Structures are given as C-alpha cells and as structure tokens.
Homo-oligomer: A and B are copies of this chain.
Amino acid sequence: MASLPAGAARRLLLSLVLCLSLSAAASAATTRHHEWEISYQLKSPDCVRKLAVTINGQSPGPTIRATQGDTIVVRVNNSLLTENAAIHWHGIRQIGTPWADGTEGVTQCPILPGDTFTYTFAVDRPGTYMYHAHYGMQRSAGLYGMIVVAAAPGGPDAEPFAYDGEHDVLLNDWWHDSTYEQAAGLASVPMRWVEEPQSLLINGRGRFNCSASAAAAAEEGTCNATLAECDAPVFDVVPGKTYRFRVGSLTSLCALNFEIEGHPMTVVEADGHYVKPFVVNNLNIYSGETYSVLIKADQDPNRNYWLASNVVSRKPGTPTGTAILSYAGGRSPPPTTPPAGPAWNDTMYRFRQSEATVAHPAHVEPPPPRANRTILLLNTQNKIDGRVRWALNNVSFKLPHTPYLVAMKRGLLGAFDQRPPPETYEYQSYNIYDPPPNPNATSSDGVYRLQFGSVVDVILQNANMLDANKSETHPWHLHGHDFWVLGYGIGRFDPKVHPATYNLKDPILKNTVAVHPYGWTALRFKADNPGVWAFHCHIEAHFFMGMGIVFEEGIERVAELPGEIMGCGKTKGGRH
C-alpha cells in the first residue's frame, strides 16, 4: 500500500478513532431518537395505487434497530388531515411505562392531526418485535413496521445459535378497499365482510395482476405493473453462509405459511424468546407473531429461489406473495413456480408446529407451578342489534372513549362499565361444534381486574361460527406481558382433565398465540406489570367486532401519568 500524505493520514486516523468510539457507544445502553411524520401518501405496494398511512413517506415504516437495554424515543407527528393516530410497540412490555403502549382507548387518547406525541420506552429483551397503529383499523392502512433488538454482547441473553448474516421479512395482507370502507362494511346491517385480500405483501411489496381478470379491469388507470415500487424484494445470500431470517406477520386477516424454496428452516426464536431448534420446510405464522429461522445457503448458486407467503386456515383467494432469494446478486425470477404452501385446511399440520415450539433448553424460564385464577373464555360469533359481532363468554368488547389507564388512575366515574365480565361459560353443556344456539350477546367495556403479582391462567376456547361447519384460527395477543404457552388442544377444554396435560417443563414464552379451529389454547402469565393491558384477537376486523378483553393490574403502582395521553372523553379540556 502506498504511503499517505500527512494530512490524509491524520484524517484517516481521526476516522478510525471516531469509528471506534461509535462502536463502543453502540455496545453500551443508549437512547435512540426517532422523528416520525405520519401522513397519507398515494402508494402502489402491489402495483395498484392506493392511499396509505405512512411514516416518513414509507409503508412499512423504518425498522427500529437497537440493542437490549436501549431506550427508544419516537416523536410521532400526526400530519394526517382529519384523522388521529396511535402506535403500539408490539411485544415490548412497557415495564414502568404503561402509558407508552400506544393502545387507543386503553392507554392513551388518540394523537390529533397537528399534535406530537413522544413514546419513550426501554427494549429490555433482545428479539424480533413490531410496531403498528392501534386505532380503529388504521394498521390495515399501512402504518406498521419492525423492531429488531440485538442481544447485549456477552450478556446472558446472547443467542444460542450462530449465523453469518441476517434479513428481515415483514409479512402483510393488502386490500384495495380503504380501511374506512372496510370498517363501515363491518358495522353495516347486513354486514359487508372485507373478503380475501387482493395481495400478500413481503416487506411492503406485492404484485397484483393488472391485466388478468375482471377484478383487474376494475383497477384500470391505477394499476401499473412496471412501477419499481412493486418489484419483488430481493434477499442476497453468499453461498455456504448461514442466515438468520427474522420473520414477522402483521396481517389484518390471513394466517400465513412462509417458505424459502429449497431451504429448510431451523426455528430458533419466537416472539423474542429462544426456541428449542426444530426444522421445518415452511413456517406457519399468525398475525402478531415473529420468528427467527436459520437457513444455509447451500443450494445451486446459479439460480434464484422463491420466498413465498401463502394463505392457510381460510380458503385462499389471494395469489402467493413472493420475493427472491438471490445467490449471485441477480434480480431475475427463479425458473420455478413459487411454493404453494401446505393444504390450507390442514389444521393438524399447523397444530403440530404450534406444539413443537418450546423453550430452548438453555433458556427455559419455568412457569409458576399453579395459577391463582383461571379465566375460561369461549370465543363465539354473535349478533347484537342485527350486527355481527364476536364475543367472549357472550360479552362483545367495545373500547371506551376515555382511556382505561387514566379513568382508573384518576377514578373517573362512568368512564367504563364497572361490572366485571364473566370468568367462565357453561362448558359442560356447550357444543363447540354447533353454531351458537342463542347468538345474542351484550356489549361491554368492563375489565378483568387482576390482583397484582398473581398468576393468571387463560384458556381460549374456539367454537363454531354463526355458519355451520366453520371455525377459524384466532391469533391472540397480550399487551404488557409474555405468557407461557401451556398447551393446545382440539375440542372442548375440560378444566378437570386438560390442566394435567400442561407443559410446565419448557413452555415457550410468547406474546401472541394461535387458537386453532375448534381448539383451545391455555396460557399463563404473572400479573406483575402495573398498568392496563389489552388482550385480543390480532385479526383487525375481529378486534373491531369485539374479540378482545382488557386486564388491569397494580394501577395503584403506576407512576404519574403524562398529560399527553389525555385530552379525550372524560379527559377532554383538562376535566381530569
């Protein structure tokens, strides 16, 4: 190497020093500031122009990258014209910051157009997380993204697996109808269902067939398959190397199956917890879940391979979502047909994958041996005033207009129904394989109030819908906690029988879990995070139609609430 002039050498030295000091800073806990502007933009994620709610002009929004122990500060400026916003940090437990959970009606008032809201929270665990709007059906409009938290180097949470590089894969489904139209249809009598999505997106990109069908003709003038915006994403790999793919799903409706053609995947992480490694040809992933899988780039490097996202659990009406795994940096489509995924109605295939997901032996966090309280929730489709709704133990959830967190902390009377929702249902006599004999239900914004520090079991019992011979998969997401997944079953849960089958040895901790058709899922958590926390089906339309509940625990231990979460309902105009 030729010698450098003195000036250049000095500059190089300075750069090196700067670079080293930055590296040092990155390994210590740090505060990461983000400035976000929420706005409408006309985007063509699947080649069809549609209005999207974006962050800094992008949908998905920027990936938040941090290291375990960091503090994240996101200043959200709402530049929508007439619409409010709220952003939830999915999988982040918000320990000590329950007001930053971003759940409109539960932990905060919505952010008004022109207003700024600052979310500040710690990322205390490594793993793969996500963020998304938690207001009306705004998530479906494009306001979502990924959070990647690296393990603190050398710490106890370092990954029990090795890899050479990593890629992020965020899955979604996408409609050409607006979320406003969807919500109006769902609330109509008769209900206008959202139907199957037009496209499946990978990292915000899909490909609608602009020229094929009658449906395509309907998009005339707005569909343009030559846009770079809807080019398939490409994931580059170097032959012989091992890659970690962080895969998350924020679908509004679809259960998905994700496959990397010709590359078996070793599942190593789920919802931020290390998994006892197991190999799959394809990965079932439900809305609200994240996984890390390892693949080895050991296939013929002279061609490309498909990444494929396919609908499962509902009869698919949407083409495969695709992206490209590229060995040589080329962008050309693989010479094959994209993988079609498993049979959409093979429930047991998915059930077994759920059961296979247990804690990594070196990272087992044993659950408390027994619960102080057990809540058994029957999940049914119902009708209230002619409207189709979903209910738990015949109570359909509706959000109050004053956030629970403020209403409870300040003792605001009349902000929500003080009567507790039911703990159980008539499980001895209910036939889960028939439509509800009496589909009537009631609406309530009542809350399950938990004793602080107590251990709570929840069993989610699936059942037949209003139509005969129909039961769907519901991915349930708990805010503010991870829970142990104690067991799954198909059929009716029997409190006298099934608890004996629980996995108390190495259950995985998760924040989102599937309840399979006609099945049940049992989970356990410790009510040790002061705050108010939503627990709901992560299908956007289902939560909108009442499939959720709310827990309160230790509200008296919550520190002084920041004023910026207020301003609506009974906290309007400083009346709190």
Contact = CB atoms under 8 A, between A and B. Distances in A.
Contacts of A136: 81-82, 113
A411 to B, nearest CB: 17
Contact of A184 (B51, B110, B181): B51
Contacts of A135: 82
At the interface, is chain A mostly helix, strand, loop or mixed? loop
A573 B564 contact: yes
A115 B83 contact: no
A40 interface: yes
Interface stretch (A212-220, A375-383, A470-478): A212-220
Contacts of A566: 572-574
A178 B219 CA distance: 15
Contacts of A178: 51, 178, 180
B180 A51 contact: yes
A183 B40 contact: yes
A571 interface: yes
B563 A573 contact: yes
A137 interface: yes
Nearest to A109: B112
A34 interface: no
Given A574-B575, A575-B563, A81 B180 contact: yes
B574 A564 contact: no
A42 interface: yes
Contacts of A82: 83-85, 110, 135-138, 180
Contacts of A84: 82-84, 112-113
Contact of A220 (B40, B115, B214, B221): B214
Contacts of A138: 82
Nearest to A574: B574
B110 A572 contact: no
A576 interface: yes
A51 B575 contact: no
A187 B57 CA distance: 12
A178 B53 CA distance: 14
A184 B40 contact: yes
Contacts of A576: 573-574
* Residue of A181, A184, A575 contacting most chain B CB atoms (<10 Å): A184
A189 to B, nearest CB: 11
A218 B216 CA distance: 9
A205 interface: no
Interface in A80-122: 81-85, 109-110, 112-115
A181 B401 contact: no
A560 B82 CA distance: 27
A503 to B, nearest CB: 40
Contact of A567 (B181, B219, B567): B567
Contacts of A217: 217-218, 220
A431 interface: no
A41 interface: yes
A185 interface: yes
Given A218-B217, A221-B218, A401-B115, A181 B51 contact: yes
Interface in A123-180: 135-138, 178, 180
Contact of A115 (B180, B183, B564, B568): B568
Contacts of A568: 112, 114-115, 567
Nearest to A568: B112
Of A138, A566, A573, chain B has the most CB atoms within 10 Å of the CB of A573
A115 B184 contact: no
Contacts of A303: none
Interface string A38-50: 0111100000000
A281 interface: no
A262 interface: no
A184 B84 CA distance: 16
Nearest to A185: B42
A575 B571 CA distance: 12
A560 B113 CA distance: 26
A180 B181 CA distance: 12
A188 interface: yes
14 contacts: A40-B180, A51-B178, A81-B136, A82-B138, A82-B180, A83-B180, A84-B112, A110-B113, A112-B572, A217-B218, A218-B218, A218-B220, A566-B574, A567-B572
Given A113-B136, A564-B573, A567-B568, 11 more contacts: A40-B180, A40-B183, A40-B184, A41-B184, A42-B188, A110-B113, A115-B569, A217-B218, A563-B574, A563-B575, A566-B573
8 interchain residue pairs of minimum CB distance: A574-B574, A114-B401, A82-B136, A81-B136, A40-B184, A563-B573, A566-B573, A218-B220
